[in-house]
Structure 1
């Protein structure tokens, strides 16, 4: 037997290189042009909406803020604009109406927190106890929010009228002394707060109601087994379970009430009897449109912005500390 015979014959065996060359190449199907075009159009549409939103914010929110910041340090006379530094701020602080406006604004905020923060929460608690007709009650509570502010103000002007107003008519029936609701400096601010609470409580009530309906019923059942009454269940179950939304609404309430303008302006003309309803925002309005002093108006607006920003930052920091 020869060495050639011991070696396996390779004649007729396929060559690996020829096999690789002969193996059909896997071609990935090219993306259809229509699919690519749809993807491009979809992305362009999304970016178009995004760009539109950014442009709207830039024109109607960011630009006015930047412009206000610049106006606070400028003064325009006879078409000429000059930088005056802190002169506008000095003018505002030395105005006697400045401190009165801040006192009235803080008083309105305090009264609004007592009424406007507590009343919607209590209303949500009551509605949550109803098993039927909650939809109609939600609509009834939210109806004042849907009314135009002018219509609501006209309604309260009728209620507060010293001659034929409904409130004084009720006082006459009860043989109680009549009141000058919007003409008395001691009652004007409280009357404005009551009207503002009624006009704006619907949204807060629905938010509280949604939070209440998210509380597990097992917690109330466990509290009842422990002998807890209604007030204890509210204090130990309801409030802790809704603490996050309560604190958020508190922050929003303070920010909104510190910027109150519509209700005092429409009910009492803004200033009210003896300036009892003059708020900071109304004073800004007076500087800008009554005195044509846009620099002072911008300076006062900047002060309000800094105060609210500081309050918001302090609140967020305290909230993080409590969560940690």
Structure 2
């Protein structure tokens, strides 16, 4: 065999080996996605058209689950509460991290320590955060009521009162998750050209004017993406209302808590829970499609 031919065969074998290795790693990822993402998704859609309680054999009921779902007043209550939670979270959980990021970006000292303090709650397990705030909110021996009593102010029922329960839940979620959003905003603020701020300062612009005419326009895309991600995340809130107010409280029950209630507490109907999950999937899928379209146009 000629040397050139031998080298060509050796090169093709090497390329083939590299391709096989690449496809092997790709196959492992596809199998993981198929088992843990695609199969549960397809299985959930199939369950939404069945009556399943794991006591009797699955029974195909067609659209009866969706008809039952849309006729259940608690379903619409859960959606109303979810939208209310999302709306309040957009005021607190969306605006507060941005304001904190702007303040941290303006500081000249202790920036690293303060950034660590802001991000620290993100590293705590969610159940630990909720249990900590459950102690804060305790109407008898909680920290918040103790502080209010010490300064002569009336105490509150916090999560037990219908007028304060939802805001109390949003405060927990905001404190637990604001670190990630703050870090993203800080990274985006670091990418704004310093010449824009220098020009604004030479023109005599105040901090508010620099924020309005320089910072916000430069971060318009990041703010929009974070808004969509905030809506998607808050629509799936579960642990805060479930742990702090329970699965049967009509003032704070969300769609995720209702799905759990359908499946594991009252109805034990996994088909009905799957139907509610499909509705949530469609709603979040619309927001996700909007997010992908915006990011694709940007890139």
TM-score exceeds 0.5: yes
Matched residue SS, 1:30: helix
The residue number in structure 2 matching 1:68 is: 44
Matched, 1:81 2:58: yes
In structure 2, what is the Cα distance between the partners aligned to 1:149 and 1:312? 24
String of CA shifts for 1:3-46, please: whole Å, max 9, x gaps: xxxxxxxxxxxxxxxxxxxxxxx963732887666544443332
Partner of 2:163: 186
Deviates more, 1:145-154 or 1:69-78: 69-78
Considering only aligned residues, what root-mean-square deviation do their CA atoms show, in Å? 2.4
The counterpart of 1:310, out of the listed 286, 289, 293, is 286
Aligned 1:233-272 pairs, distance under 5 A = 233-272=210-249
Query: Of the candidates 95, 112, 132, which is equivalent to residue 155 of structure 1?
Result: 132
For 1:230 and 1:52, how far apart are their aligned partners in 2?
Answer: 52
Residue aligning to 1:103: 80
| Distance change (3 Å), C-alpha of 1:93 and 1:232 | same
1:286 pairs with 2:261:
yes
Q: 1:37 to 1:108 in 2, by over 3 A?
A: same
**Superposed displacement of residue 294, structure 1:** 1.1
CA–CA distance in structure 1, aligned partners of residues 5 and 65 of structure 2: 70
Is 1:58 matched with 2:34? yes
SS of 1:282 mapped into structure 2: helix
Partner of 1:11: none
Q: Secondary structure at the match of 2:160?
A: coil
Q: Distance in 2 between matches of 1:206 and 1:128?
A: 10
Match of 2:7 in 1: 31
Contact kept in structure 1, 2:122 and 2:176, CA below 8 Å: yes
After the TM superposition, which of the residue ranges 162-171 and 79-88 deviates more from structure 2?
79-88
The alpha-carbon deviation at position 147 of structure 1 amounts to 0.7
Rounded Cα–Cα distance in structure 2 between residues aligned with 1:182 and 1:283? 18
SS at match of 2:52: strand
1:44 and 2:20 aligned:
yes
1:28 is paired with a residue whose SS is: helix
Aligned to 1:17: none
Does the Cα contact within 8 Å between 1:182 and 1:268 map onto a contact in 2?
yes
- The alpha carbon displacement at 1:263 in A equals 1.3
What are the Cα deviations for residues 51-100 of structure 1, in whole angstroms up to 9, with x where unaligned? Answer: 11111111111111111111111223754333222110111111121111
1:161-240 aligned within 5 A: 161-240=138-217
By relative contact order (CA 8 Å, sep 6+), the higher-ranking structure is: 2
Q: Choose 1 or 2 for highest CA Rg.
A: 1
Q: Structure 2 vs 1, CA of residues 196 and 54 (structure 1 numbering), >3 Å: closer, same or farther?
A: same
User: How many aligned positions are there?
Assistant: 295
The answer to whether the 8 A contact 1:261-1:270 is kept is no
SS in 1 for 2:201: helix
| Cα contact 2:50–2:58 (8 A) shared by 1 | yes
Per mean C-alpha deviation after superposition, the further-off stretch among 165-174 and 247-256 is 165-174
Q: 1:217 to 1:294 in 2, by over 3 A?
A: same
